[in-house]
Amino acid sequence: MSNITWFITGGSSGYGLALARYALGRGYNVVATARSIAKLTALTAIAPDRVLAQKLDVTVTADADNAVKAAVARFGRIDVLINNAGIYPRQNFLEMTEQQWDEMQDINLKSMFHSMKAVLPHMVAQKSGKIVNISSVTFHLGMATLSHYVASKGGVIGLTRSLAREMGPYDIHINCITPGAIKTAAEASVVTDEQAAQFLASQSLQRRIMPIDVARVCLFLSCELSDGMTGQVLNVDGGWVMH
C-alpha cells in the first residue's frame, strides 16, 4: 500500500466523497473532514486503517488546526490537500443580505485560507506537496443569481495563483479545478431538470459530467504526472468553456 496521504475538506458527499473513495481505491491514506463525523462513518468503514475521519467546520480556524495535527499524528505527513468544501445557494443580488454574502465567502473562500494556513507549514518542512483547490466554471461564465458564489470562486483562482508563486521554491504545487455542471445530489437540490438539460446542451460532450471525472483530474494534479504544473486552472466541464 502507498504511504501517500490526502486531506480532503467536505469529504462526506459530492466531489469530496468521490475523491475519498477514489484515493482509497489507489491505496492512499485519506483524512476526510466534514462538519459531522457521523456523515463519514460509511467512508471509514471502507478501510479503517487508512481513513481518518475528522470534524471540521471550515469557517473555524481551530478546527482546521486540530484536523491537520490529528492527520500528521496518524499518518506522519500530508502529501495532498484537496480544498473541496463549499456551498451553492442562489439569490438575486438585490435581495441578497450581507449575511448571505459573508457566509458564501467564509465557506467557499476563507475556508481555504484556514486549511492552507494549517497544512502549508508541514509541506514547507517536507519541501513537497500538492494542493488542488476546487473553484467553478461559473467564474468564466458569470451567472445570474450567483454573484456571491461566482465572486467566491474567482477569489479561489486568485488565491491559487498567488500562492503557487509563493510556494514554488518549496516544491509545492498549487492548482485549481473549475468543474462545470456536475451531477450530484447537491446539484439536484438547486437545479431543475430543465436547467440540467440546458447545461448539457451547452457542453461539447453530450453526457453528464460526474464526480468521478473531477476525482480523476484531482489525481492527475496530485501525482508526478503534473510535476511541471502549478498555478493552473483546469476546466472539467465537458467542453462547456474552452480557454
CATH code where residue 195 lies: 3.40.50.720
> How many alpha carbons fall within 13 Å on the CB side of residue 7?
33
Contact 192, 148 (CB under 8 A): no
What's the mean pLDDT when you consider all of the chain?
94
Task: State the pLDDT at residue 202.
Answer: 92
Q: Which of 22, 28, 88, 149 is catalytic?
A: 149
Total domains in the chain come to: 1
- Asked whether residue 40 is assigned to any structural domain, the reply reads yes
* Amino acid sitting at position 65: D
> Which structural domain range is residue 129 located in?
5-236
Does the annotation count 149 as an active-site position?
yes
Task: State the pLDDT confidence band at 80, using cuts at 50, 70 and 90.
Answer: very high
Residue 243 lies in a domain: no
Question: Residue 239 — left, alpha, or beta (φ > 0 → left; ψ -120 to 50 → alpha)?
Answer: left
- Does the structure show a pLDDT above 90 at 186? no
Mean pLDDT value of segment 65-88: 97
Residue 241 lies in a domain: no
- Is 100 within the bounds of a domain? yes
pLDDT at 199: 87
Flag whether 242 is in a domain.
Answer: no
